[in-house]
Amino acid sequence: MANPGIPPLVTVFGGSGFVGRYVCEALLKAGARIRVAERDPRKAWFLQPLGGVGMVQTIAADVTKPATVALAVEGADAVVNLVGVFKGDLEAIHVGGPRTIAEAAKANGAAFVHVSAIGADAASESGYGKTKGMGEEAVRAAYSKATIIRPSVVFGPEDQFTNRFAGLARFPVLPVVAPNSRFQPIFAADLGKAIAAAALDPKTHGGKTYELGGPDVMTMRALVGAIADLSGQSPQIVDLPDFAGSAMASLGFLPGAPLTRDQWIMLQKDNVVAKGGTDLKAFGIAPTALGSVAGEWLGRFRTGGRFAPRATA
């Protein structure tokens, strides 16, 4: 890590994204400097106020262009990769990109944390799951001391999960696909702290793979119901049979929200931490439950907005 008295420098690929902002905040609170690597650095300018003068840098980098990756990693004490996509060239982003970053981190003697996902499997029928699994294999082959973190579905104020379902709950009927699939939603701030801890303490976390989830395991139906309650809405929740969900996925559309065939395949397996697996306690973090915080941002969906009185039992 950095020389004594000099704050460590951490390069964060994808630091301006949903999870990235929490990783950057946690790193800065821990006293590190950050260098946010983005194809368009302007997207990361909003992070500047999180740190003091000189604590937040931005740099142009594309994970598919090795020369830009090498420049972004140069001089860093640790590197974090958060880049992921659901469409486009998945192999280039999920396999080639992580391999390039891992090689650059190793060449610079920097710690490396690669963020993947529960369900990553090179043998998966899902393109997303398959390329995520291949990406993990590429990282391990390039840099055995890398840390791999596989979170379940992530929730937070800026997410496209709780906010999307809260928006759909405004309709009288809310259909739910794969209602029995199980998830272990993790709070973005908790995940950000874990990723930052792994980057700053490679002696403890290097070479390990962590599957991370929150304190509650919930079916899709229970999760959607909880989101509706937290947003002060009470639609009729209807379980869609598998044949209907499969048909909608084949068309690439679910009324009000996109559902691709690839996502449908991923929904056929539970998205929870493996039995006997690791959890946030490995990082000294007490997991945050969805119900204890989500009402803060989902309140805006209530009649009268977030300042409207909440119903009491």
pLDDT of res. 255: 47
Check residue 227 and report its DSSP letter: H
State the Rg of the chain over Cα: 20
In angstroms, what CA-CA distances link 154 with 30, 183, 290? 22, 10, 10
Greatest mean pLDDT among 83-92, 143-152, 175-184, 264-273? 143-152
Strands of the chain (E only): list them. Answer: 9-13, 33-38, 56-60, 78-81, 111-115, 147-151, 154-155, 173-176, 182-183, 186-187, 209-212, 218-219, 236-239
Residue 120: pLDDT band by 50, 70, 90 thresholds? very high
pLDDT of res. 4: 66
pLDDT of res. 312: 45
- Give CA–CA dist 117/127, Å, rounded: 13
Q: How many helices (H) and strands (E) does the chain have?
A: 13, 13
- Give CA–CA dist 174/162, Å, rounded: 14
Q: Which DSSP string do the residues of 262-285 spell out, in sequence order?
A: HHHHHTTS-BSPPTT---GGGGT-
Reported as a single tens digit per residue, the pLDDT across 271-302 is 999 887 667 989 999 999 999 999 999 999 98
User: If you average pLDDT over every residue of the chain, what do you get?
Assistant: 90
A 10 A CB-CB count for 128 gives 22
Reported as a single tens digit per residue, the pLDDT across 47-69 is 999 998 889 999 999 999 999 99
- Give CA–CA dist 210/148, Å, rounded: 6
pLDDT of res. 256: 44
- Give CA–CA dist 34/20, Å, rounded: 11
